[in-house]
Structure 1
Amino acid sequence: MTVRDRLLAVVVAVLWGANFIAIHVGLEHFQPLFLAGLRMLVLAVPTVLLVPRPRVPLRWLVGYGLGFGTVQFLFLFLGMYAGMPTGLASLVLQASGPFTLVLGALLLRERVTPRQWAGIGVAVLGLGCIALARAQSAALLPVVLTLLGALGWAAGNLCSRLAQRDGEAVDPLHLTLWMTVVPPVPMLAASAVVEGPGAWGDVVAMVTPDGVAGLVALVYLSLVATVLAAGIWTGLMRRYPAGLVAPHSLLVPVVGMSLAMVLLGERPSVTELVAGVVVVGGVLVASAPARRRVEVRV
């Protein structure tokens, strides 16, 4: 990778790490289900009007939207609303990497190397330590909800992969944008049932001085974290092997936890910090590309 593209990958990691701060701010102004649905609705409307629909099987497009766009953010937002610390959420969500490998092996019969299994085991050990530490403080539920969000991300990854495999000259960015068409209906329907129609009143509050922060958070979640960051990331993934680009995503929890400490005053325990290093190390081992054997001819 060129220096410029490495810097772009770091910029994306910073944008995605700051995304968790935006979620924290957004949840102070909106109900969680409503915010998750509104975030996608803001993108879905112009996508339907302006972006050509990718030629992929409908089942994979819907699966991508349900897994990545609905289940992931539904449980992530609920977890953070229930008390999951912002920085810790950015770390635990990295479980999507090992989950993707496991689901790929179970459902798609993809081969997982012994080194990848070892990395998965290390990551699970770290997550288990975090869960145990949280359970002792009666705060296990937010961790479980966030892990369910990571599982939804992993399922969305598989559907995205199958869509690009079975589709015709798929533009990954178009696929990502059309994914946003799926979540608004189930998200907003669930919001109407659980949170009530009063959740829409938060939209009106955005035009008041007290609601500006919520509006900024919504714009960041929809345009910056999704369109801008995903667009840059998609371009990098198309130019370079995934093994060169993907490890940069491990900077996301570093940025997320650092910003949460500086801006929100969060102070993770020593156990959580050590476990976080273990999780990131396990994900790095599991996601690293296999080494090619070099034949030496005499």
Structure 2
Amino acid sequence: MPGRDRFLAAFTALLWGCNFLAIHATLTHFPPLFAGALRFVVIAIPTMLLVPWPKVKLRWLIGYGIGFGTLQFAFLFVGMKAGMPTGLASLVLQASAPFTVLLSAVFLRERLTAWQVAGIVLAVAGMSAIGWQRAEYAALLPLLLTLLGALSWACGNLCLRKAEPQHPLRFTLWMSVVPPLPMWGLSLIFEGPAAQWQSLSTFHLPALAGMAYTAVLGTVVGSGIWSALMRRNPASTVAPFSMLVPVVGLTLAFLLLDERPTVVEIVASAVVVGGVLLGSVRRRRRQDTTMSGCTTSGSTSCGEIRPARMSSA
């Protein structure tokens, strides 16, 4: 994975870590499912009017919109509204990384190196240590809902890999057309039109600012970069960088929401960072060495070390 892509992946993790504070602000005023629908409406309307079609198969766009857009944020928003602490939510949602690696190996047949597996195991161990420390502050239901959001994100990642969009930003923007109607329908059923109207009829600046951040920086910028990274790198290499998100989320929750991490959590966060770096840097070195050997020998097995890519068929 090139150095530029590692920087972009880390920058996306920073954007998504800040995203959890924005979601916290949004949910202080808007019902969770209705907030999710509004978040994507803000992007969907100008997208349909101004952005060209990304030229991908419709089923993969819908799959990504349902997994990454609809289900991930429905489960996450409801879980946070039900009591999931902001910092802990940023941690638990990153279970999408091992979910993505597992699903990629099973369905996309992406090969994992020993260094990659070791890095992921190390990062998951650090994440688990943080979760063990903070689990006493969250009920079982919010934890399960957030884990379901992580699994939905992983399923969306696989649809993204299958789509292979030539214009990742267009693909991300058009993905936003999928979630509004199903999330609005779920909001009507579980939250009711009265709650929707009440949230729209009153002005709440922090909630509106939070929604603007999640729509523009969290979805358009963050997801656009993520889509590009997933397109030109194996999903199992990009996904572990999402484990940096809880480091940002826990830190900001401590500074701004008074959610205080323990010494174990701080050490475990450093372990997460080390695992992510191990799982990405070592893989690149291995590929570079192998590719060099293939070039000099003219072996036909060079294709084995290339990132797994799906045929357009």
Identify whether the pair has TM-score above 0.5, normalized to the shorter chain. yes
Listed as ranges, the gaps of 5+ residues in structure 1 are none
Of residues 174, 178, 185, the one that matches 1:178 is 174
* Kept after mapping to 2: 8 A contact 1:91/1:276: no
Distance 1:229 1:134, change over 3 A: closer
Is 1:213 aligned to 2:206, yes or no? yes
Question: In the alignment, which residue of structure 2 is the partner of 1:70?
Answer: 70
Normalising by structure 2, what TM-score?
0.78
73-82 or 174-183, larger mean C-alpha shift: 73-82
Is 1:189 aligned to 2:185, yes or no? yes
Question: In the alignment, which residue of structure 1 is the partner of 2:307?
Answer: none
Deviations 1:2-37 (A, max 9, x none): 99x988766544332211100001110011111111
SS in 1 for 2:21: helix
Distance 1:128 1:15, change over 3 A: closer
Question: In the alignment, which residue of structure 1 is the partner of 2:250?
Answer: 257
- What displacement does 1:252 show? 3.1
* Kept after mapping to 2: 8 A contact 1:63/1:156: yes
Q: CA separation in 1, counterparts of 2:123 and 2:226?
A: 24
Where do residues 103-142 of structure 1 align in structure 2 (5 Å cutoff)? 103-134=103-134, 136=136, 139-142=139-142
222-231 or 154-163, larger mean C-alpha shift: 222-231
* Kept after mapping to 2: 8 A contact 1:18/1:259: yes
* Kept after mapping to 1: 8 A contact 2:169/2:225: no
Where do residues 1-298 of structure 1 align in structure 2 (5 Å cutoff)? 12-134=12-134, 136=136, 139-164=139-164, 170-206=166-202, 208=203, 211-231=204-224, 251-288=244-281, 289-290=283-284, 291-292=286-287, 293=289, 295=293
Q: Identity rate of aligned residues, in percent?
A: 57
Q: CA separation in 2, counterparts of 1:269 and 1:133?
A: 8
Q: CA separation in 1, counterparts of 2:32 and 2:62?
A: 22
* Kept after mapping to 1: 8 A contact 2:95/2:150: yes
- What displacement does 1:115 show? 2.7
Q: CA separation in 2, counterparts of 1:126 and 1:240?
A: 24
* Kept after mapping to 1: 8 A contact 2:87/2:253: yes
Distance 1:85 1:274, change over 3 A: farther
* Kept after mapping to 2: 8 A contact 1:131/1:140: no
Distance 1:202 1:171, change over 3 A: farther
* Kept after mapping to 2: 8 A contact 1:94/1:283: no
* Kept after mapping to 1: 8 A contact 2:161/2:231: no
> Quick one: which amino acid aligns to residue 187 of structure 1?
M
98-107 or 6-15, larger mean C-alpha shift: 6-15
Listed as ranges, the gaps of 5+ residues in structure 2 are 297-313
Q: CA RMSD in A?
A: 3.3
91-100 or 37-46, larger mean C-alpha shift: 91-100
- What displacement does 1:53 show? 1.5
Q: CA separation in 2, counterparts of 1:74 and 1:24?
A: 14
Distance 1:122 1:221, change over 3 A: same
* Kept after mapping to 1: 8 A contact 2:62/2:175: yes
Deviations 1:120-162 (A, max 9, x none): 3334444444454455556333232222211111111110111
> Quick one: which amino acid aligns to residue 120 of structure 1?
I
- What displacement does 1:271 show? 4.1
Q: CA separation in 2, counterparts of 1:137 and 1:20?
A: 17
